Amino acid sequence: MPGLKNRVVVVTGAGGGLGRAYALLLARAGARVVVNDLGGARDGSGEGTAMADQVVAEIEGEGGQAVANYDSVATAEGARAIVGTALDTFGAIHGVVNNAGILRDTAFHKMTDADWEAVQQVHLFGAYHVTRAAWPHFREQGHGRVVMASSTSGLYGNFGQSNYGTAKAALVGLVNTLALEGAKYNILANAIAPMAATRMTEDVAPAELLAKLPAEQVAPIVGYLLTDECTDSGTVVVAGGGQIHRVQLFQSAGVTFPTTPTIDDVAAQWARITDMTGAVPGVNPVG
């Protein structure tokens, strides 16, 4: 089996849903897992220890190694404590799966600052804080694996999820740069847009669709991205229901104007500018 044995992996939001499936599979593959979960409700309210404890008990019941952590990913202090749990318990940290998440869905014209900020704090700032706390250890040991939980809502948009989709797309932006900065140190950063039946999706998709989307089917791709053998970085995959697809940004052949175009010039060429025939993967021209 590809290398995960004794690797120490933090899975945030692992007290239920996808995170639980990731934690269980990683432990079965021999990884030592920090099962982090704040233990609150889907909208981020409340907290508790039972969710993380339950998953640790399941892993230990199967003979695996895990430790619970109940801190919130949403603050730098919480994230340092999460990474600290890995270091204190297992003496190392080799990977983080930034999976913790909440939902505050509402149409954009009804969006409140509180609902906007709460979602950014958990998804975007949470992934930043936890990865930032682990990063020096990854650099020092010349090994690190980062997996971000993105979403098709961020990649493609979704009605009522402007706050959530923004955070999820931002994580792809973070992965793009972490992949560049981590390359020299064997630190890989990738993003996954999962699709699974969990408490997050229980009332947003039809039951017959959800029945085909068990969380367990997403876990192997996360496991693979954490292995020693994986060499891909900056990759985004959509995974669920037994299917795994890569998603990539492409750039059209476009139009080159010899001099600064007028608005009329742009309008006249718009069809050619936006024609994706012969498009190629986008690269940063100044990178």
Interface with ligand NAI, residue 187, by CB under 6 A: no
Question: To which H or E segment does residue 14 belong?
Answer: none
Q: Give me the helix-helix angle, 162-182 and 126-141, nearest 10°.
A: 10
Q: Which of 156, 164, 185, 224 is catalytic?
A: 164
Nearer to ligand NAI, 243 or 277 (CB): 243
Tokens of 150: 């993105």
Interface with ligand NAI, residue 36, by CB under 6 A: yes
Interface with ligand NAI, residue 15, by CB under 6 A: yes
Tokens of 180: 């560049």
Question: To which H or E segment does residue 60 belong?
Answer: helix 50-61
Interface with ligand NAI, residue 165, by CB under 6 A: no
Nearer to ligand NAI, 3 or 48 (CB): 48
Measured at the CA of 30, the angle between CA 69 and CA 219, to 5 degrees, comes to 75
Cβ atoms of 238 and 195 closer than 8 Å: yes
Nearer to ligand NAI, 1 or 204 (CB): 204
Taking CB under 6 A as the criterion, the residue among 72, 131, 161, 162 binding ligand NAI is 72
Distances 207 to 203, 243, 270 between C-alpha atoms, Å: 8, 19, 42
Interface with ligand NAI, residue 99, by CB under 6 A: yes
Cβ-based neighbour number of residue 76 at 10 Å? 14
Interface with ligand NAI, residue 195, by CB under 6 A: yes
Nearer to ligand NAI, 114 or 276 (CB): 114
70 an active-site residue? no
Give residues in contact with ligand NAI (CB under 6 A).
12-13, 15-19, 36-40, 42, 44, 51, 72-74, 99-102, 122, 126, 149, 151, 193-196, 198-201
